Amino acid sequence: MSQRLSGIPLSPGIAIGPAWWLETPVATTGHSDIPRNPETERARLEAAREQAKRELAAILADQQHALPPESLAILEAQQLMLDDPDLLQHVTAAIHAGQSASDAWRSATDAIAAQLSALPDPYFQARAADVRDIQQRVLRCLGGVAEEAVYPTTPHVLLADDLVPSQTVTLPLDRILGIALVGGGPTSHATILARARGLPAVAGLGRALHMIAPETLVILDGDRGEIIVNPDEATLVEARAQQAAWHAAQKAAAATAAEPGQLADGTRIEIAANIGSAADARAAVQAGAEGVGLLRTEFLYLDRVTPPSTEEQFAIYQEIFTLLEGRPVVVRTFDIGGDKPAPYLSLPPEANPFLGVRAIRLARQQPALLDTQLDALLRTGYPTLRIMFPMVATIAEIHWLRERVDAAIARLTSQGLTPPPGLQIGMMVEIPAAALLAEHFAAVVDFFSIGTNDLAQYTLAADRTNPAVAALADALHPAVLRLIQHVVSAAHPAGRWVGVCGELAGDPVAAPILVGLGIDELSMAPAAIPAVKAVLRQWTRDAAEHLAQEALRQESAEAVRQLVQAMMPHR
C-alpha cells in the first residue's frame, strides 16, 4: 500500500528509485582504554593526530575536483581542528590528569560537539556532526575499530539518520538519486552536499523512515519535502513527468548561469551570493555570482578563546576578495552574541537571545571588537567594498556606527593608507521598526539589504530555530512583503539601492515578486543562482510588478505561493 511521509524540503527535484538504508558507521565512541603513563599517551595521541592529518590530506588531494567546495571547506576545517591549540591543551591536561589518549580526546571533542549542538542556530548544530566525525577518525587512528559503510552498486534513493563528512567522501554520488533523512536540517552537511550536487533531498522525516524496507520503490519530492513509499501507477506516471520537466529546466539553467541576471525585457537585476568562507567565494564565482551580497563574518569569531586580531582578519578578507576578482562585496560586521556566543565575550545567558545583545548591540557594549574589524576591512583597500551592519533598530545606532567608520577611516589615513575608493556603508533590515522608518535611515546609509530570515521571525513572532513554529515564519507572508515594499519606496527616491539577502532571495517562487517590488539585488546560496537567473528571464518588469501588487493584497503566504503558480508566464 502506498504511504506518504512529510519532512522539510532541503534541496529541490524529484528522485524515483529503490530505497537503500545507509547505516551510520558505529565507530569508537564507546571505546575506552587503560591509561598508561602520560608521556606514552601523549605520544600515541601525536601519532594518531599525524595519521588523521595524513588521511585528510590524502582525501583532499584525491577529491579536489570531485567534491563541491563546501565539502572541501568542511574537511579543511577538520584539518585545522586537529591543530587547534585550545583543544590540544585540554586533551593534554586530561592526559596528565590520568586519562588515556582515547578518553581525553573523546571527552574534549564531545564537549565541543555538545556546545555546538546546544546553540539555537541550526548552522552550528550541524557543525557538531563535523566535530564528531573528526573525533571518530582520531579514535580509529588510536586503535579503535570503525565499521565500513556499505554502498549500493546500482542507483538508489539513500535513506539515513544523517550524513557525516567522512561518509560524503566515500559516497558513490553517481549511484545516489536523492537523500532522505530521519533528522538533519537546512544547514547540515547532507544538505550542503545535496544542494551543491543538485540532488533532491528531504530532512526531518522522523523515525518512520526506518520502516521502509530495502529496495522498496520510493518517490522523493525535494520541493514538497515528502517521500511516497510504494506509489500507485498514476502517482508514478505523474512523478516521472515532473522529474523530466525538472531535469530539462536544470540543464537549461546551468547552460546560461554565467550570463548576467536580467528580466525578459532586458532589465538588469544583480544576482549575488551569500558566502562565509574562501571556499564559498570560489563556489560563488563558479555558479555565476556577479558579486557577494552577504559575507557572513561570524566564522572568524566562534570556536576560539580570543577575538581575531586585525592582522588575522585582514589576511582572510584579502584571500576572499582576491578570489572575487573585483566583483562588489558586501561584508556584514559580526552578528555574534545572543544565540551565537563566544566564550571570551563573557556575556551572561539570556532568556531570549534573539531579542538580546547580539550584533551591533554587542558592538556598542564592546566597541574595540568592531573597531578591529573595521580596521581590517578598510586596510584591504578593496575598491568595491561595502560594509553592512546587522540588527539595526534605531537611528541613534546607525549614527553611532557611521561615527565608528569615520574614526576608522581617520586611523587608516593617519598611517598614509587610503580607504577603498568605492566604499559604501549600508544596513540590514531585519527588524520591523527599521523597515517602517526606512525613510529616516535612507538619509544616513548608502544601501539596504533585507534579511528576510530575521524580518519574518520578528514580524510573525516565530522563532526561526524552533521547528514547531518555523513554518509560521514564511517570509512570503504578505505582512513581510509589505515591509519590503515600504523599504523600497523609501530608499529609491533617496537614491539608495535595496537588496535581499535572506533565504527568500534564492527561492525561485519569491524572486519575481521581489523584483516586482523593486528590489535591485538578490543575494543567495551559490547553488541557487542558476535557477533564479533562469526564472527571472521569464518575467518582464511589468508582469513582475503586477504579480507583486497582487501578492501584497493576499491574506497568507500560501495564497502568495498559489498566486505565483497561477500567474507564471508560459513561454
Kindly list the catalytic residues: 189, 501
Residue 37: CB minimum distance to Mg ion, A:
51
144 binds ligand PEP (CB under 6 A): no
Nine cell digits for residue 440 = 529616516
Q: 226-229: which pairs have CB atoms within 8 A and are 24 or more residues apart? A: 226/4, 226/5, 226/6, 226/7, 226/202, 227/4, 227/5, 227/7, 227/157, 227/180, 227/202, 228/2, 228/3, 228/4, 229/2, 229/3, 229/4, 229/5, 229/19
State which residue, 101 or 501, has the beta carbon closest to ligand PEP: 501
In which element (H, E) is residue 144 found? none
216 binds, among ligand PEP, Mg ion, none (CB under 5 to 8 A by kind): none
Residue reference for cell 544616513? 444
- At 218, give phi and psi (nearest 5°): -135, 155
**Residue 565: other Cβ atoms inside 10 A:** 8
- The amino acid that residue 498 corresponds to is V
Print the binding letters for residues 386-425 with ligand PEP: x by CB under 6 A, - otherwise. Answer: ----------------------------------------
The interface region with ligand PEP, picked from 192-200, 395-403, 451-459, 482-490 by CB under 6 A, is 451-459
Q: Tell me whether residue 232 is exposed, middle or buried, using C-beta atoms within 10 angstroms of its C-beta: 0 to 12, 13 to 18, 19 or more.
A: exposed
Beta bridge partners of 449: 428, 499
Print the binding letters for residues 430-449 with ligand PEP: x by CB under 6 A, - otherwise. Answer: x-------------------
State which residue, 246 or 299, has the beta carbon closest to ligand PEP: 299
502 binds, among Mg ion, ligand PEP, none (CB under 5 to 8 A by kind): ligand PEP
Residue 293: CB minimum distance to ligand PEP, A:
9
Q: Which residues contact 415 (CB under 8 A, 6 or more apart)?
A: none
Are 144 and 28 contacting, i.e. CB atoms less than 8 angstroms apart? Answer: yes
Q: Which of residues 409-468 bind Mg ion (CB under 5 A)?
A: 430, 451, 454
State which residue, 141 or 284, has the beta carbon closest to ligand PEP: 284
- Distance (Å, whole) CA 110 – CA 245: 45
Residue 133: CB minimum distance to ligand PEP, A:
24
State which residue, 288 or 506, has the beta carbon closest to ligand PEP: 506
Of 485, 461, 469, the C-alpha closest to 551 is 485
318 binds, among Mg ion, ligand PEP, none (CB under 5 to 8 A by kind): none
DSSP H helices, 268-394, are: 278-287, 310-324, 360-365, 367-379
Of 196, 160, 154, the C-alpha closest to 179 is 160
Give the CA distances from residue 284 to residues 73, 291, 337, 393, in Å, rounded to whole numbers and listed in that order: 14, 8, 28, 30
The interface region with ligand PEP, picked from 132-140, 150-158, 197-205, 450-458 by CB under 6 A, is 450-458
426 binds ligand PEP (CB under 6 A): no
State which residue, 151 or 354, has the beta carbon closest to ligand PEP: 354
Q: Which of residues 492-521 bind ligand PEP (CB under 6 A)?
A: 501-502
Print the binding letters for residues 290-309 with ligand PEP: x by CB under 6 A, - otherwise. Answer: ----x-x-------------
453 binds ligand PEP (CB under 6 A): yes
- Per CB under 6 A, the list member of 293, 451, 516, 526 interacting with ligand PEP is 451
Task: Name the residues that contact ligand PEP, by CB under 6 A.
Answer: 294, 296, 335, 430, 451-454, 501-502
Question: Given the rule CB under 5 A, which residues bind Mg ion?
Answer: 430, 451, 454
